[in-house]
A and B are shown apart, each in its own frame.
Chain A
Amino acid sequence: MDALLRAEHIIKEYANHRALNDVSLEIPEQSIFGLLGPNGAGKTTLIRIINQIIGPDNGEIFLNNEHLKPRHVEQIGYLPEERGLYKKMKVGEQAEYLARLKGLNGFDARKLLKQWFERFDLTPWWNKKVEELSKGMQQKVQFIITVLHKPSLLIFDEPFTGFDPINVNILKEEILKLRHDGATIIFSTHDMASVEELCDHIALINKSEKILEGQVQQIKKQHAGRIYEVELENMKKPLENMLDDRFRLLTSTGTTDSTRARVKILNDTPANDLLQPLLREAQLVAFKELTPSMNDIFIKQVTGRFPAESAETDKQHIKPR
């Protein structure tokens, strides 16, 4: 798939620190691209550069293989993390105003807005002032404003904050639908569960540098620690006695009647070799490879180690039976 957006060697310096250091990214067309990183890593700076709110000190951005130019703002929809509306202005009027600034004419803007308002049950609020709306409704209005002009690139910065679970689901469906209709989506969030759920690709930025980029499934595979979860029943002897030095037992809970355990396969030993003793000495109920969650990968990449209790935990703590 072609890259819709390509950032090459972006450097941005502020008065006393470097916010982005030689960051390059490729965002495939029609993907949902997770832009991850701890607070202050430089995500917002990168997003602002893509939105041409600020310019990079060095490096270039290409949209559809064209140098990013002012006219491209009309192909981008941006929902900032810190977002607001004019409180005293009427909802419909305000939405139309912001749509006009994105290059729509008044007639088209009103037509599209009416459809979206209908879909989000906002029609009765058209002539109300923004301050009369609940936070959730304001967020909906902002979402509509972001997508109204049918941009080919959408940038959502923490889109789900302020929504209740029902509305989060509605929003997720809308985002998936937008992708289905051809949009490419950059999705910046700290909510790793939604990253797992939505993103095809991710990039992880830490301390102004990109430290990880790729397809979610591949990244997970790369970070898989060859750890398998097994469930056994009617064991003839304790699990640790079944395993030789090609394996290491990480955790184990239960009794000999029923045990659940995590086993790490060391070196290049094939997984099949682990199965043999288990099949011989017990009844195998479940056997599966554990892949790390995006949450674990994020923390590992940023702090240098996996969080405790994660799939990659190396510490042995076998509960005494």
Chain B
Amino acid sequence: MGKTSTIIKREFLSRVRKRSFVVMTILGPLLMAAIVIVPVVVAQWSDSEYDVAIVDNSDYFVHAFDDRDNVRFTPLGTNIDHALELMHDGRFDAVLHIPEAAFQAPSTLRLFSEKSVNLNARLLIENILKLEFESLKLEHAGIDEEVLRKIETPVNIQAIRIQNDGELITDYPEISMGLGIVSGLLIYIFIFLFGSQVLRGVLEEKTSRIVEIIVSSVRPFQLMIGKIMGVGLVGLTQFLIWVFLTFFIVGIFQFAMPDLFQFTPDERVFISSSQVLSMEEMEQQRELIQQQDTMAGQLLEGLSAINFPVMIVSFIFFFLGGYLLYAALFAAIGSAVDNEADTQQFMLPVTVPLLLAIIMSNLVISNPDGPVAFWLSIIPLTSPVIMMVRIPFGVPYMELMLSGGLLIIGFMATTWLAARIYRTGILMYGKKVNYRELWKWITHA
């Protein structure tokens, strides 16, 4: 054991001291924090103003345009040609032309611009015009707009998930989906990143011929396990630093700009069916819902509903389990070949289950409790990725334990298999190895 820990220490330190590790460790959380912070900040920081000139020949609509969301409207009394000239001189970014017959034929509406039209402005204009058309038509049909607005009832079913401990939380499937995909992808990337580090490490020892010196001191198994565990610790260290730094950076931003992340923990009013709400209460509810309808609000509430400790603990478990399972196979491949080019033929069976897991994760998020999701999250080759995809949706403890247990058995099996290939492979030079040869190594005691 003493010698194995000496090996682990070397494998760990030699990688952690590399410049690439330091760079990745710092860049990772910056990127992740940026993913959280940038959309929030960008939403606040205004774009430059967008000037739209309006030439309304019909006179029906011009009063409906109020400056909003960095789009400024300027009604022009001139004809369209003059407006276009003004745009050409740079006075306006775009010109909206509403012809006389626009009310009868909305398709005659035109928005001119010299560059590609700002999408936001176009959506805003369309929205304003749509509402205006509606109210004009209502008026035309003799319907009181006030009445209509009151009849309109926004229906927004709140999905409540009853957790294992009986606590009720609001369910945001979009957030669970996003989080599931991201953590599944992260597991996939981590397994490949650190698995191929194991492969390259084994190959380096073999091609530099240092392996023969080492195996005269320690058993090949100790060398293999030492390398796998050393590299695994590097991965774990990197992940923990990432998590810590990401929360730290996001925390600093929250502290520095609290208003950006303002989110009132939602005091959901659970309404019993017998209770009749007054108009006033109904109005309050509506405002509350509208407030939460904003993207940032939803994101923040959804994220706050996620059980991060559980996510992180299960991420670490499934990362380590999946890594150990695949790293052993990577080590076996590294030992069996003489150079990196020869690894290709053996990479396929290792890559396919992982790729399958990533491809299937789209199916899994749409039906996280279906049979496909269940089986893929139980079978050890795909379970690390698929289980991480499922966990944000909630997975019964029994399934988690079954999957975890099988993963442990799975990596012990691949380690056993890899050890048998490894101890023969590392001392075998200049021989093209095929699957039959590998099978001989495994079966030959």
Contact = CB atoms under 8 A, between A and B. Distances in A.
A85 B210 contact: yes
A98 B217 contact: yes
A82 B217 contact: no
Nearest to A88: B14
Given A86-B204, A97-B10, A73 B217 contact: yes
A89 B427 CA distance: 22
Contacts of B209: 80, 82-84
Nearest to A86: B210
Given A98-B213, A100-B6, A86 B208 contact: yes
A82 B429 contact: yes
B110 interface: no
Contacts of B212: 53, 78, 80, 82-83
Contacts of A18: none
A109 to B, nearest CB: 11
A155 to B, nearest CB: 8
A15 B217 CA distance: 26
Contacts of A89: 14
Contacts of A78: 212-213, 216
A85 B208 contact: yes
Given A86-B210, A101-B6, A53 B216 contact: yes
Interface residues of B, number: 24
Interface in B419-445: 427, 429, 440, 444
B193 interface: no
Nearest to B226: A101
A145 interface: yes
Contacts of B213: 78-80, 83, 98, 142, 145
Nearest to A155: B216
A51 B216 contact: yes
Contacts of B204: 86-87
A101 B3 contact: yes
Interface string B79-90: 000000000000
Contacts of A15: 440, 444
A76 interface: yes
Contacts of A84: 207-210
B197 to A, nearest CB: 14
Contacts of A85: 208, 210
Contacts of B250: none
A70 interface: yes
Contacts of B444: 15
A223 interface: no
Nearest to A55: B445
A150 interface: no
Interface centre among B208, B214, B216 (most CB of A within 10 A): B216
Contact of B427 (A48, A83, A101, A102): A48
B219 A70 contact: yes
B120 to A, nearest CB: 52
B95 interface: no
B215 interface: yes
B215 to A, nearest CB: 5
B7 interface: yes
A70 B444 CA distance: 22
Contact of B216 (A73, A82, A103): A73
A96 B223 CA distance: 17
A53 B210 contact: no
B14 A101 contact: no
A87 B210 CA distance: 10
Interface centre among A54, A80, A85 (most CB of B within 10 A): A80
Contacts of B217: 73, 98, 101-103
Nearest to A14: B444
Contacts of A102: 217
B223 to A, nearest CB: 9
A48 B216 CA distance: 8
Interface string B1-15: 001001100100010
Interface string A90-114: 0000000110111100000000000
Contacts of A100: 3, 6
A89 B444 CA distance: 35
A203 B316 CA distance: 56
Nearest to A106: B6
A89 B201 CA distance: 13
A192 to B, nearest CB: 25
A188 to B, nearest CB: 13
Contacts of B210: 83-86
A145 B213 CA distance: 9
A116 B264 CA distance: 70
Given A15-B440, A83-B209, A89-B14, A101 B429 contact: no
A98 to B, nearest CB: 6
Contacts of A86: 14, 204-205, 208, 210
Nearest to A70: B219
B24 interface: no
B6 A97 contact: yes
Interface in A209-252: none
* In the A-B complex, the 10 residue pairs with the closest CB atoms: A84-B209, A84-B208, A101-B217, A80-B212, A78-B216, A51-B216, A82-B209, A84-B210, A53-B215, A100-B6
13 contacts: A15-B440, A51-B215, A78-B216, A80-B212, A82-B209, A83-B212, A84-B207, A84-B208, A86-B208, A87-B204, A97-B6, A101-B3, A101-B214
Given A70-B219, A82-B429, A85-B210, 7 more contacts: A53-B215, A83-B212, A84-B208, A98-B213, A101-B6, A101-B218, A102-B217
